[in-house]
């Protein structure tokens, strides 16, 4: 129940933040911090039990009839994620409350961020694959909304869309994969599915799809390109979603699946080794060339994610253990770096490392924190990053096969990491040679930030330092996480000092090599020539999108010619043709009785006369009135059959339709036009006659074709005791079939939006869809909720405005 309570709490806080945002100003972010704070407290409280091997489980029957259950299970690995999500979540919220200026859409921001945190907690603790998928999609959607938070900027919108398309496509693949695997395993429970580890073609296809989903989410080559684009998000979002948590969701999945499937599926380990390795090298290489500090960090994140994928995807227990350690270390140092960049950006109003000139002197706390984090990332003794990298190298050396390859990959990756790390510190904080940029931003231009703004980064950097030598807490957590994935991982522990051995030498080599590479960038120009030949994934993405739009245009021009008679004809003929075989096989209709009473004959005669008249008259208004006559006569028929409810409804619907028809008719010519096509009129008559004959025959046959009984007796009997009403029709609508009714009124709502959109959209293009009537006398019509939330607030202090580095962000793809 604790788990549910934490998740529901996130929902409550998100709602409250959304509602109170306007009133609370920046302090709404402090309200938001309450959500991860509670999650953090729960994680702390649950760790004791988890260390004793306890797995907290809860389940809630959701739709019992369909075996849909919300199942939560918090094992060691999930708990590790909860620590990271909630711990960094609290810091990011506090940080964001200093990062933003006064603006009135912070409620929306906080609500989204808290929703994301809740979704991430659900993702990592769901023991049902469908629940996991729902949470997965929720993180994609909140990520989309947060990347595009500055929605008045085209670059933010297009990179948000790009991230959504890539991760959304991956989400679809994931859903397909999970369903295939679950069907093969016969269970939708994640833990049971992993235990069963089903084999066979379908399961392997499913596994490949799951892998695809994980690769998109964790920005692995060739899907890496969305992550640098996602840097248009406000920096707290980059720090939280796009380095510490969301991009780890793919890794979470791989880590869960690898121990179960790596030994069973031959292609698993080589594939992940290749994907992780290429991503690690490509990301590191690109980071060496980025000029936007956030883009540099984003490519660095891509590289580190590749590193972790290589480790956790391998399937070897020690590699898995090392992967979990790197995951924790990365969350700490990368979040620090992003938070530091946010401070630089906020104070100096640029992230271009060519412009920043010696800003470190104005931001000493941030500069020191970022330098420590960078050192940890590069693997400098005795920081946490070093410890985790040692674990990875040790694991690689102990491998049975492929030792040299894996160790070499890690070492080369570390060389790149060191090089771009130095480049980052130099670019952000150090002095540049005079005249290297026409408009440098120097320490004198940078005002000192508030202490509380710098504190979160400093705190995280402090953790990186302290947790290096004092390994016990991290070791316990990492060991707990790795062991819950793979029991064989319990023999491994983090060590600060492995002694003089190959892993230490490789670490030192990486540091030295990285420094050399930074000093001598020409060393990598050869690599640049090779990679420049490979297609840029951004171009591939843009071309794919253009192709999609083109083929959609072509399809639409074929299936939507814009002719109402054609649409109607196709719909009617389909309705006739499809059920026809079944109807013909049912045999001739049996007519039991011609009519119940003479008056029925009279009323039906009226219906027929009115219908015929409607088909023959030339004026539209007359046709509509005659059609109304048909409807009213049918209502009389209902009365005769003893169905007052039906008759009442029919009467009212007819009345309303008449009124609305008149509204529409004013826009149409007074008389019907004959078809311009020679056979048009004949065809219309033929189609109408066919449909008429078919429907009549259908009604006759269907009425005689009932084999089972009806529900009528049951409904009549249950209406009063179960539904509490004497009117069976209403009890059915509001109780027995209430879900249908709910669906129907949803359709009504959609129809209303559709009507307004079509009418307004046709009338003025610049306003587009707007549900509010411009003439409404509502005193609240000036409610700014309906307006653009960000426009007209020049004081919102957008830190990235006018940043030349925005050029790093892809242009909106033109159709």
Rg of the chain in Å (alpha carbons): 33
CA angle, corner 696, sides to 695 and 700, nearest 5? 115
For 47-64, the DSSP string reads: HHHHHTT--EEEEEEEEG
For 716-749, the DSSP string reads: HHHIIIII--S-HHHHIIIIITHHHHHHHHHHHH
Q: How far is the CB of 665 from another protein (least distance, A)?
A: 10
Q: How far is the CB of 236 from another protein (least distance, A)?
A: 31
Q: Do 58 and 4 form a contact (C-beta atoms < 8 A)?
A: yes
Smaller CB distance to another protein: residue 584 or 759? 759
Q: Do 496 and 389 form a contact (C-beta atoms < 8 A)?
A: no
Phi-psi region of 358 (alpha: psi -120 to 50; beta: other; left: phi over 0): left
Q: Do 76 and 27 form a contact (C-beta atoms < 8 A)?
A: no
675-709 exposure pattern, b = at least 16 Cβ within 10 A, e = fewer: eeeeeeeeebeebeeebeebeebbeebeeeeeeee
Q: Do 360 and 428 form a contact (C-beta atoms < 8 A)?
A: yes
Smaller CB distance to another protein: residue 469 or 743? 743
* Separation of alpha carbons 652 and 702, rounded Å: 28
* Separation of alpha carbons 297 and 454, rounded Å: 18
CA distances from 742 to 235, 349, 646 (A): 41, 51, 19
Q: Cα–chain-centroid distance for residue 591? A: 57
Q: How far is the CB of 718 from another protein (least distance, A)?
A: 12
* Separation of alpha carbons 106 and 113, rounded Å: 10
Q: How far is the CB of 249 from another protein (least distance, A)?
A: 28
Smaller CB distance to another protein: residue 509 or 734? 734
Smaller CB distance to another protein: residue 598 or 782? 782
Q: How far is the CB of 792 from another protein (least distance, A)?
A: 18
Q: How far is the CB of 624 from another protein (least distance, A)?
A: 14
Smaller CB distance to another protein: residue 543 or 769? 769
- Closest Cα to residue 655, out of 695, 628, 687? 628
Q: How far is the CB of 754 from another protein (least distance, A)?
A: 10
Smaller CB distance to another protein: residue 439 or 783? 783
Q: How far is the CB of 787 from another protein (least distance, A)?
A: 14
* Cis amide prior to 382 (ω within 30 degrees): yes
Q: How far is the CB of 39 from another protein (least distance, A)?
A: 23
Smaller CB distance to another protein: residue 562 or 669? 669
Tokens coding 50: 């988890």
Smaller CB distance to another protein: residue 151 or 735? 735
Tokens coding 43: 């994680």
Smaller CB distance to another protein: residue 716 or 751? 751
Q: How far is the CB of 670 from another protein (least distance, A)?
A: 10
Smaller CB distance to another protein: residue 666 or 678? 666
Smaller CB distance to another protein: residue 374 or 650? 650
Q: Which of the 8 DSSP states describes residue 803?
A: -
* Separation of alpha carbons 328 and 311, rounded Å: 13
Which residues bind to another protein, rule: CB under 8 A?
A: 63, 644-645, 648-649, 652-653, 655-656, 659-660, 663-664, 666-667, 723-727, 729-731, 733-735, 738-739, 741-742, 745-746, 748-749, 751-753, 755-756, 759-760, 763-764, 766-767, 771-779, 781
* Separation of alpha carbons 745 and 393, rounded Å: 61
CA atoms within 13 A on the CB side of 685: 6
Smaller CB distance to another protein: residue 9 or 694? 9
Q: Do 161 and 144 form a contact (C-beta atoms < 8 A)?
A: yes
Q: How far is the CB of 112 from another protein (least distance, A)?
A: 20
- Closest Cα to residue 396, out of 404, 386, 388? 404
CB contact set of 707 (below 8 Å; sequence gap of 6+) = none
Q: How far is the CB of 783 from another protein (least distance, A)?
A: 9
Smaller CB distance to another protein: residue 62 or 515? 62
Q: How far is the CB of 746 from another protein (least distance, A)?
A: 6
* Separation of alpha carbons 530 and 534, rounded Å: 7
Q: How far is the CB of 662 from another protein (least distance, A)?
A: 8
Q: Which of the 8 DSSP states describes residue 241?
A: I
Smaller CB distance to another protein: residue 616 or 752? 752
Q: How far is the CB of 5 from another protein (least distance, A)?
A: 15
Q: Which of the 8 DSSP states describes residue 244?
A: I
Q: Do 122 and 114 form a contact (C-beta atoms < 8 A)?
A: no
CA distances from 228 to 284, 301, 305, 806 (A): 13, 9, 13, 11
CA distances from 316 to 481, 491, 699 (A): 15, 13, 67
Smaller CB distance to another protein: residue 438 or 762? 762
């Amino acid at each position: 129940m604790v788990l549910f309570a934490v998740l529901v709490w996130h929902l409550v806080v998100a709602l409250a933040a959304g509602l109170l945002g306007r009133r609370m100003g920046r302090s709404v972010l402090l309200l938001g911090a309450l959500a991860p704070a509670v999650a953090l407290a729960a994680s702390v409280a649950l760790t004791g039990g988890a260390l004793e091997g306890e797995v907290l489980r809860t389940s809630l029957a959701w739709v019992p009839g369909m075996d849909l259950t919300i199942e939560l299970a918090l094992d060691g690995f999930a708990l590790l994620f909860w620590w990271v999500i909630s711990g960094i979540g609290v810091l990011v919220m506090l940080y964001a409350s200093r990062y933003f200026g006064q603006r009135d859409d912070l409620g929306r921001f906080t609500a989204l961020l808290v929703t994301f945190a809740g979704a991430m907690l659900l993702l990592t603790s769901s023991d049902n694959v469908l629940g996991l998928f729902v949470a997965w999609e929720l993180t994609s959607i909140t990520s989309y909304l947060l990347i595009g938070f500055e929605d008045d900027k085209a670059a933010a919108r297009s990179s948000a869309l790009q991230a959504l398309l890539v991760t959304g496509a991956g989400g679809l693949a994931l859903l397909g994969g999970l369903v295939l695997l679950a069907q093969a395993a016969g269970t939708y429970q994640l833990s049971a599915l992993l235990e069963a580890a089903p084999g066979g073609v379908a399961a392997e296809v499913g596994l490949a799809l799951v892998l695809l989903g994980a690769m998109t989410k964790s920005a692995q080559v060739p899907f890496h390109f969305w992550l640098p684009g996602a840097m248009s998000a406000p920096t707290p979002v980059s720090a939280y979603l796009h380095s510490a948590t969301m991009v780890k969701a793919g890794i979470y999945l791989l880590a869960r699946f690898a121990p179960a499937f790596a030994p069973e599926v031959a292609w698993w380990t080589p594939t992940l080794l290749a994907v992780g390795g290429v991503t690690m090298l490509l990301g590191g290489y690109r980071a060496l060339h980025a000029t936007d500090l956030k883009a540099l960090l984003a490519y660095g994140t891509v590289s580190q994610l590749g590193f972790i994928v290589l480790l956790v995807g391998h399937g070897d227990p020690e590699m898995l253990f090392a992967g979990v350690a790197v995951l924790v270390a990365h969350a700490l140092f990368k979040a620090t770096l992003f938070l530091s960049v946010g401070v630089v950006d906020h104070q100096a109003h640029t992230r271009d490392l060519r412009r920043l000139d010696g800003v470190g002197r104005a931001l000493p706390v941030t500069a020191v924190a970022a330098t420590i984090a960078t050192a940890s990332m590069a693997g400098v003794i005795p920081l946490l990053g070093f410890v985790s990298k040692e674990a990875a190298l040790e694991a690689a050396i102990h491998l049975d096969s492929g030792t040299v390859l894996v160790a070499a990959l890690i070492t080369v990756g570390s060389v790149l990491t060191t090089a771009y790390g130095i480049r980052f510190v130099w670019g952000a904080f150090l002095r540049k040679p005079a005249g290297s940029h026409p408009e440098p931003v120097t320490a004198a231009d940078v005002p000192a930030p508030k202490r509380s703004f710098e504190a979160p980064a400093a705190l995280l950097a402090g953790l990186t330092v302290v947790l290096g030598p004092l390994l016990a807490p991290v070791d316990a957590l990492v060991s707990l996480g790795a062991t819950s994935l793979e029991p064989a991982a319990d023999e491994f522990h983090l060590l600060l000092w492995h002694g003089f051995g190959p892993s230490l030498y490789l670490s030192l080599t990486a540091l030295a090599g990285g420094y050399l590479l930074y000093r001598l960038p020409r060393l990598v120009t050869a690599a640049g020539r090779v990679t420049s030949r490979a297609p840029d994934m951004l171009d591939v993405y843009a071309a794919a999108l253009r192709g999609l739009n083109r083929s959609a245009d072509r399809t639409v021009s074929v299936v939507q010619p814009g002719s109402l008679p054609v649409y109607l004809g196709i719909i009617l003929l389909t309705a006739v043709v499809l059920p026809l075989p079944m109807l013909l096989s049912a045999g001739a209709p049996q007519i039991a009785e011609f009519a119940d009473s003479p008056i029925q004959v009279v009323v039906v005669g009226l219906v027929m006369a009115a219908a015929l008249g409607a088909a023959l008259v030339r004026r539209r208004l007359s046709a509509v009135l005659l059609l109304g006559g048909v409807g009213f006569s049918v209502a009389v028929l209902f009365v005769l059959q003893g169905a007052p409810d039906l008759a009442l409804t029919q009467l009212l619907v007819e009345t309303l339709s008449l009124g609305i028809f008149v509204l529409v008719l004013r826009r149409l010519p007074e008389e019907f036009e004959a078809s311009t096509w020679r056979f048009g009129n004949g065809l219309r008559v033929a189609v109408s006659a066919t449909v008429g004959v078919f429907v009549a025959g259908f009604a006759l046959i269907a009425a005689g074709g009932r084999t089972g009984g009806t529900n009528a007796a049951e409904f009549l009997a249950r209406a009063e005791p179960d539904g509490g009403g004497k009117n069976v029709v209403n009890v059915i609508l509001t109780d027995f079939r209430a879900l249908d009714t709910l669906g129907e009124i949803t359709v009504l709502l959609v129809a209303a939006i559709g009507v307004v959109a079509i009418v307004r959209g046709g009338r003025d293009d610049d306003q587009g869809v707007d549900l509010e009537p411009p003439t409404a006398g509502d005193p609240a019509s000036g409610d700014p909720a309906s307006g653009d939330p960000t426009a007209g607030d020049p004081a919102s202090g957008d830190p990235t405005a006018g940043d030349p580095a925005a050029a790093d962000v892809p242009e909106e793809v033109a159709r």
